[in-house]
Amino acid sequence: MGAHGTQRDETQPIKGRRPLSLTIMQWVYLLWIILGWLRFAAALQGKELILGLVSPGVQRYLIAAGLTWGLAGLPVLWGLMTRAGWTTEVDSHLSHPLPGGVLV
């Protein structure tokens, strides 16, 4: 019996604390997604200003890049929040992307 008179179901796994690297990664991806959606919205709202300063290709690039980053980060963030098994593999690849762990 526990302190409050309830007993833990022995068939359920015990969830430990999330590693700090995954917590930091979750916040980085959340910021990354937010910035992607902000870029997408700003490119749509500032269409006249952007087209007045640069070529139409730049505006299309800003829309596509914002939408891509906004959508691409969602599955990774979902995996981190639900503690999917592949997130530790993503963490190890992002922590040491090059041989020797050198970040460029």
Residue 101's pLDDT band (cuts 50, 70, 90):
very low
Helix axes 20-45, 86-95, angle to 10 degrees: 80
* pTM value > 0.75: no
**Is residue 80, in this structure, part of any structural domain at all?**
yes
How many domains does one find in the chain? 1
**Is residue 39, in this structure, part of any structural domain at all?**
yes
- Angstrom CA distances, 63 to 34, 68, 92, 96, stand at 14, 8, 31, 31
Structural domain that includes position 26: 20-87
Q: What is the pLDDT of residues 41-97, one digit of tens each?
A: 999 999 899 889 998 899 999 999 999 888 887 887 788 778 777 766 765 665 555
**Is residue 11, in this structure, part of any structural domain at all?**
no
